[in-house]
Amino acid sequence: MEYAALNTKIHAMHSRFLSYEDFEKLSGTKSVIEAGRHIKQLPGYAGVMRNLEGERLKRARIERSLNLSLFDDYMRLHKFVTGYKFCKFLEAFFMDNEINLIKIILGLVLGERTEDFSQEELLNEKVSAYMPNLSKLINSKTISGFMENLSGTSYYKPLMRIYNRDATIFQLEMQLDLFYYMNLWDKRKLFTGSERRAIEHIIGTQIDLRNIMWVYRFKRYYSFTPESVYAFLIPINYRLKAQDLVNLVSQKDLENQNVLNKVLISRYKNIFNEATSLESGYYQKMESVYSKTFNATGSGAVFAMHYLFLKKLEIDNITNIIESVRYGLSPQECMKHIYYPEKR
């Protein structure tokens, strides 16, 4: 009965997820503005989109508003969380969304982002309740002021390790990502028995997949040396064999994703291929892991994690369709850029 109230709440919130037909209708819109107006009519996003109209309905602003709904849903779930250990774990699990907001602000401070977000768009009531220091961060004028305003948070020490070494925004952002996964992996220890093994399986699989995706992107798009690649990988191997990682990092030709299937020899073989995007392969594998793990354990913690995972997937799907509409793709082509789980 520990998770009874939480599970009931999650079941109710599932009803707000978009159907496949909803995505088909969105893909049939003719412009970003029309797509934005369509999203404003959807129950799950009407509240966070209400202040966007006309020329303010741009892709970056729509995506930012959609992500605010994640904070809204997290706060709804958090009210039903019982027990100190589960509460601390869920906070660690959700930290990646907080980190994404910190990255936006960091980019604005360093002049690396062109999006001109207003304070109103960033300083949402729900987000402010979750991140009490948000107002200070948004008003940072320099990187030193930004770092000072992070003092007292979990992110200050990890960033300070590289801040004084003329770190680039890429290095600072990767440091935040590494902190997220290392901290989350550590928090699995809050659980015991079968529930701990279930959560370890989910987080471990996610870390393995992220490392594979990062190696591919670092080598294909940034031409990183093997030494540079290793410096940015999460130092955790769950079921990704060490030889897999060595083979992947030393691979000279990563022209397309099919190469991953030739290099990988472990259980992650054939997840990524040229027919789907890296993110689609990731989402498909993680959806399978979440569903099987919950069916095997009935864990309320896994149910909550799965819900937030599906919410993020839905937002990514909406964003991908908006981007496809922006480039004038047909509805059929737009739908190729999303992954929609057959079962919810």
291-300: per-residue pLDDT in tens?
A: 999 999 999 9
CB of 122 within 8 A of CB of 104? yes
Residue 168 corresponds to which tokens in the numbers above? 């680039």
Distance CA 207, CA 220 (A): 20
pLDDT for the residue 3: 86
Spatial CA neighbour of 232 closest among 285, 284, 283, 182 = 182
Cα torsion at 280, 185, 87, 148 (round to 10°)? -90
CA neighbours closer than 13 Å in the CB half-sphere of residue 197? 5
Q: Which residue has the higher pLDDT, 237 or 119?
A: 237
Residue 239 clears pLDDT 80, i.e. is over it: yes
Domain 81-190, architecture per CATH: Up-down Bundle (1.20)
pLDDT for the residue 121: 63
Residue 74 corresponds to which tokens in the numbers above? 């997290």
CB of 64 within 8 A of CB of 117? yes
Going by C-beta distance under 8 Å and a sequence separation of 6 or more, which residues neighbour residue 102?
A: 137, 150, 155, 176
Per-residue pLDDT tens digits for 171-214:
999 999 999 999 999 999 999 999 999 999 999 999 999 999 99
pLDDT for the residue 285: 92
pLDDT for the residue 219: 87
CB of 23 within 8 A of CB of 313? no
- Assign 123 a pLDDT band (cuts: 50, 70, 90): low
- Helix then strand count (H, E) for the chain reads 19, 0
Residue 117 clears pLDDT 90, i.e. is over it: no
Spatial CA neighbour of 226 closest among 247, 256, 203, 243 = 247
pLDDT for the residue 11: 94
Residue 114 corresponds to which tokens in the numbers above? 């062109």
What ranges do the domains of the chain cover?
A: 81-190
